[in-house]
A = this chain, B = another copy of it.
């Protein structure tokens, strides 16, 4: 396999990139500015070397503790529980939440052999006690696995005097009632709010 074939093969293993897109990218890189291709190659190596999980919440960071956990201005007694580190940046982009995060590193999925011990659940329980957490907002995905995980966490904390909430499911803003799927519409009716 020559360099171009290897480049195409490697790119086509990335999520959302098929063989044609991979070829397009490979040929683009051959013509692109050399500084750019060097920077791209280096940024891949460096991200893998430098990025690790925050020792407190599990978020990606280049330090021992992530920026959010070390930010003294943020609320200390609310935790937003997410499945993956990348969920944090999406929630942060809303600017609405000013508390702490905790990353489960997945969701319960017995079929894939992922039980409570494979997720950062023990650390969450320790943290909840240590930091006298008053509310845990469960922001796992609104999927079967995410819901199951949310239910499991809620049961765990049942007698712990901690408020457990879940992100609301419902109509996406700017969406169209006509094109909303049945399950989402069901949830938005069940979760209706007084105006």
Interfacial residues, chain A to chain B (CB-CB below 8 A): 2-4, 6-7, 10-11, 13-17, 21, 23-30, 34, 36-48, 50-51, 60, 62, 84-86, 89
Contact = CB atoms under 8 A, between A and B. Distances in A.
Given A3-B46, A3-B50, 11 more contacts: A2-B62, A3-B62, A6-B39, A7-B43, A7-B47, A10-B40, A10-B43, A23-B89, A27-B86, A37-B44, A37-B45
Contacts of A15: 24-25, 28
Contacts of A16: 21, 24-25
6 contacts: A10-B43, A26-B47, A27-B85, A27-B86, A37-B48, A44-B44
Given A6-B47, A47-B30, A48-B34, A40 B24 contact: no
Contact of A7 (B17, B30, B44, B84): B44
A14 B28 CA distance: 8
A4 B47 contact: yes
B84 A27 contact: yes
A6 B24 CA distance: 22
